[in-house]
Amino acid sequence: MLELKNIKYRAGAFQLGIIELTIERGEYFVLLGPTGSGKSLTLNLIAGFIELESGSINIHGNCVNKQPPEKRRIALVTQNVDLFPHLNVKDNILYSVRAKKNLVDEIAKRLNISQLFERKPSTLSGGEAQRVAIARALMCEPEILLLDEPLGSLDPSTRREIRNLLSEINEIKRTTFIHVTHDFEEAAALADRIGILFNGKLKQVGRVEEIFSAPVDAETAMFIGHRNVLHGKIVNIDGEQFFQVENVKFEIPQNKYCGNAVYTVNPNSIIVSVERMNSSARNSLKGRIINIEEAPSAVYVQIDVGVKLTSMITKKSAAELKIEVNKELWVTIKSTALHRI
Amino acid sequence: MKSPLFESLSALLGVIILLFLILPLASITIGTTPSEILKTLTEKEVIESIAVTFWSALIATVFGTITGIPLAYLTARKKNIAFELIEAGMQVPIIIPHSAAGIALLSVFGSQKLESITGVSFMGSVAGISAAMTFVSVPFLYNSAVEAFRSVAAPLEQMARACGDGPFRSFFRITLPLATRGIISGMIMMWARGISEFGAVIIIAYHPMIAPVLIYERFTSFGLDYARPVAVIMLFICSLIFMSLFYFTRRRKC
């Protein structure tokens, strides 16, 4: 188990923390945030490359603040791979003083790198080099594996391959993984839990579905790819509560709060139809299609109902509805699908 | 794509500087007969001066390497004003007149106090010659080593630490092997610069006589014809050694 307690660090104008976080043994934890949010700095503090200003880092209950990196039983895989260029692949893998030679064959077979043993790092492709870097890290038998944007410089198919590999290794080895990325899709595919880091502050920690369905604020919602983030205010009209955005009013579940608010609606929860639907849904709005975006498995339809809303529909539905820009459609949203953040 | 005019002009200017360097060297070589060279090579004074020159420069290079490499490493890794000043300060021996360097060295190494503390006499000794050579030539090693260490990415050292290496181990297993080429080039430059030193050495140790001092003494006492064979011998030996070493270091691949 890794505990970060009251972590603070200042680097010039940038302030990291206060960070409080507990990561369970064997957990795949993803630290997600935009560039410059302090993700890599956090990894460097955990690794011991940078000395903490305040707070403590505990590994399995022991404070490691004063321990140098080589004593912390951590291993690191980075975006730049950082294989030792003067050593061949086999010597890279066996580099660690903790490396157990009897593990070489097993790990090399799992990562499909046995045939690369005699090659120098400069001759490897991006995917091969990253597999070797992962093998070297695993040979260290780490308690915690730190992954600093490990998929960042790879092409899409290699990225998928390495992603599956990381997930598989985490399942088998039950080593704690802390993976840093700015890509929500990558985080969602890998993480047991995600921590959202913005400007040095850990805003939210939770399971993928928790964060996606209830992002802590508008910034987080936008970052993790919410398409419908609505800024408006909650108003009372004749004893009923509405969420008003410009001149558009959405009926919402009753709550005690009034005033400015931000709501999100999952594109999956927005139904579009040619005729007004007669259903239990409380919000039916007429609008005009302003944009159509085809994704591999769906179509995103942006409709202007006074505010812009994006609905995700299947390609089959798009064809049946004969959607095209400027076509008028009805938008139906259940009031419970509006989530206040 | 470069224009023919640009390439022709570049080649012409290059030829001028090459001739500027080659002509004097060719002139003394052509102006010296093989029999003169062979006769000079039998003179004990010449052989001894060449041996003292190479030996003193080697001592200077070893001393400069042991003490200068750690400083070069710190300079490459520490980003603060103190090390920026040190880096600038290390260039001083290159820019000051070497006779001035000799006077400065004399004020330290000429004192009886230092001799009584270290037990080493610097005046008129190989130790003094090596000290003078170190002073004027160590910046070449230092500069080359700093650049070599800078070219080794710091994350590689961090990676070695994460793999379980302590700072010494990661330095000797990662940093030093990757910087070796630059360091060896620097050592060759330092040795070469030490061998060619005259101004600082002549002030601190006229004797035992190094080859540059011998050439100067023969020139002032007996004239050009008497000095020229020693100069040619030095030119030949130095060229042979340095070309071999450069060839060796260029061939080394990481």
With a CB cutoff of 8 Å and minimum separation 6, the contacts of B247 are none
The CA dihedral of B206, B211, B213, B215, to the nearest 10 degrees, is 150
The number of beta carbons lying within 10 Å of the beta carbon of residue A42 is 28
**pLDDT tier at A258 (50, 70, 90 boundaries)?**
confident
**A340 close to A261: Cβ distance less than 8 angstroms:** yes
CA distance to partner chain B, nearest, from residue A256 (Å): 52
Average pLDDT over residues A172-184: 91
**B131 close to B109: Cβ distance less than 8 angstroms:** yes
Do residue B159 and residue A84 have CB atoms under 8 angstroms apart?
yes
**pLDDT tier at A240 (50, 70, 90 boundaries)?**
confident
**pLDDT tier at B173 (50, 70, 90 boundaries)?**
very high
Q: Does A82 touch chain B (CB under 8 A)?
A: yes
Average pLDDT over residues A198-203: 94
Q: Does B163 touch chain A (CB under 8 A)?
A: yes
**CB contacts, 8 Å: A146 with chain B:** 162
Rounded to the nearest integer, the mean pLDDT of chain A is 91
Q: Please state the pTM of the whole predicted model.
A: 0.80
Higher local confidence (pLDDT), A109 or B138: B138
**A288 close to A300: Cβ distance less than 8 angstroms:** no
Q: How far apart are CA B66 and CA B59, in angstroms?
A: 11
Do residue B177 and residue A140 have CB atoms under 8 angstroms apart?
no
Instruction: Please list the alpha-helical segments (H only) found in chain B.
Output: 4-30, 34-41, 44-77, 81-89, 92-95, 98-109, 112-118, 126-150, 154-162, 167-170, 176-195, 199-204, 211-222, 224-251
**CB contacts, 8 Å: A85 with chain B:** 178, 254
Q: Say yes or no to pLDDT of A224 above 50.
A: yes
Average pLDDT over residues B86-107: 94
- pLDDT for res A156: 84
Q: Which of A76, A79, A98, A132 to mutate to test the interface with B (most CBs of B within 10 A)?
A: A76
**CB contacts, 8 Å: A84 with chain B:** 156, 159-160, 174
The ipTM, to two decimals, is 0.79
Entry field: residues in chain B = 254
Q: How far apart are CA A222 and CA A341, in angstroms?
A: 12
Do residue A75 and residue B254 have CB atoms under 8 angstroms apart?
no
- pLDDT for res B254: 41
- pLDDT for res A101: 80
The chain B residue lying nearest A121, using CA atoms, is B254
Q: Which of B156, B159, B172 to mutate to test the interface with A (most CBs of A within 10 A)?
A: B159
Region of poorest pLDDT, from A14-23, A154-163, B174-183: A154-163
Q: Say yes or no to pLDDT of B253 above 80.
A: no
pLDDT digits (tens, 9 = 90+) for A263-317: 889 888 999 999 998 888 889 999 999 999 988 788 999 999 999 999 999 999 9
Q: Say yes or no to pLDDT of A144 above 90.
A: yes
Q: Chains A and B: how many Cβ contacts under 8 Å?
A: 58
Q: Does A167 touch chain B (CB under 8 A)?
A: no
Q: Say yes or no to pLDDT of B2 above 70.
A: no
**CB contacts, 8 Å: B160 with chain A:** 84, 95
Residue among B24, B57, B71 at smallest CA distance from B126: B57
Q: Say yes or no to pLDDT of A328 above 90.
A: yes
Share of residues in chain B with pLDDT > 90 (%): 82
Q: Say yes or no to pLDDT of A135 above 80.
A: yes
- pLDDT for res A218: 85
pLDDT digits (tens, 9 = 90+) for B149-170: 999 999 999 999 999 999 999 9
Out of A47, A48, A96, whose CB is closest to B164?
A: A96
Q: Highest-confidence range of A48-57, A97-106, A211-220, by mean pLDDT?
A: A48-57
- pLDDT for res A88: 96
Q: Say yes or no to pLDDT of A35 above 70.
A: yes
Out of A78, A80, A140, whose CB is closest to B164?
A: A140
Average pLDDT over residues A60-65: 92
Do residue B254 and residue A140 have CB atoms under 8 angstroms apart?
no
**A192 close to A27: Cβ distance less than 8 angstroms:** yes
DSSP three-state, residue B184: helix
pLDDT digits (tens, 9 = 90+) for A77-108: 998 879 999 999 999 999 998 888 888 888 89
The chain A residue lying nearest B179, using CA atoms, is A86
